[in-house]
Amino acid sequence: MKIKLPNGDTKQVGSEGSTWEQRTLEKLLLEVYKQQQRANLWKWLWRGMWVLLFLSLIAAMMGGKQDMGALGKAHTAVIDINGTIDSTNDTATKVIEGMEAAYKVKNVKGIILRANSPGGSPVISKVAFDEIRRLKALHPKVPVVVVMEDVCASGCYYIASAADTIYANPSSMVGSIGVISGGFGFTGLMDKLGVERRMKTAGANKGMGDPFSPETPEQNAIWQSMLTDIHKQFVDAVKLGRGKKIDDVKNPDVFSGRVYTGDQGKQVGLVDEFGSVYSVSRDVFKAPEMVNYTPKDDFSTSFGRQFGMQMKSAADTLTLPSW
C-alpha cells in the first residue's frame, strides 16, 4: 500500500511496518510478563516462609500441650544430653534446668538422663556433675539414673558418674576417662618456605602452644602438668560418684582413656545394668509414661547455634584440653 506525503512523495507501508510494531509490542508484553512472574515468585516464597513459621509455632504449641497432659499422672522425666558437651550446646544449663523443672512436679517417679555424647569441655562436665549431686541431695526421694545410648564417653561419663545408677546397651561405647590436647607445628614448613615468625610477647610462656613457633621442653612440661592435673580431677570425680564400684587396682586400664563397650564396661564397674529408657521407666520406676523435660531452644538460639557451628574454626580446639 502506498501513501502520499505532504511534499508530494509517496511511501510504501504495510507488512514490514506492521511486523516492526508487532515485534516491539511483543517484546514489551514479554518483559511485563517476566516481571509479573518474578513478582509472583517472590510473593509465593514469602507466603511459604510465613506458612512454615506458622506451622512450626503450632507444632511447638501442640508438643507442649502433649507433655502438659501427661503431668497429671505418674511419669518418668527424661532429660537429653546430646552432642558435644560445651557452652554452645548449653549442656550444663539444660541438665540443671530440666532437673529443677522435674523436681517441681510431684508425679515424677524418677529422672532419666538420656546420654548420647562423645564428651567435650572438662569445665562444663564438672559443672553438670556438681549440680546433679547438689540437686540429688536436695531431693533424695527421686532417683536419678543415666541411660547411655550409642556413646557416653569422656566428659559425658564424667556427668554420668554423678547418677545413682548407670544403664547402657551392651553395644554402647563408654569410658574414655582421659584428657587430650593436640595441635600441629608448622615450623619445619615455614623454614622450607623461607617464612620467619615475628611474635612479640610479655611473659616467657605467653606464646606457649603457638603452632608457628618451636615448642620448648619447658613448655611441653607445663602442658603435660596441666593435662595430668585435669585428668586427676576427672578420676577423683568418677571415684566420688561411683564409689567402690570401680576397682582401678584390679582394672588398671579403666582410667587410661580406654573406651569400652557397654558389656565390657559392666565387667569393670563403669556400667551397673543393661537397659533402655523404656525398660527403666517401665520396670524400675514403674512409670512407663515418659515426659521430656529437656529445655527447648527458641528459633533464634537454634539458628545462632547452627551458624556458629558452621563458622567455628578448627583452631579453637588445637590447644584447649577436652575429655
Spatial neighbors of 318 by CB under 8 A, at least 6 apart, are 182, 183, 184, 209, 211
The string over 223-255, giving b where at least 16 C-beta atoms fall within 10 Å of a residue's C-beta and e elsewhere, is beeeeeebbeebbebbeebbeeebebeebeebb
Catalytic residues: 154, 206
List the one residue out of 319, 314, 121, 315 whose CA is nearest residue 220.
319
Cβ contact 187:212 at 8 Å:
yes
In the three-class reduction of DSSP (H, G, I as helix; E, B as strand; rest coil), residue 11 is classed as strand
Largest Cα span, the chain: 122
Cβ contact 146:115 at 8 Å:
yes
Read off the C-alpha cell for 165. Answer: 545408677
Amino acid at 90: D
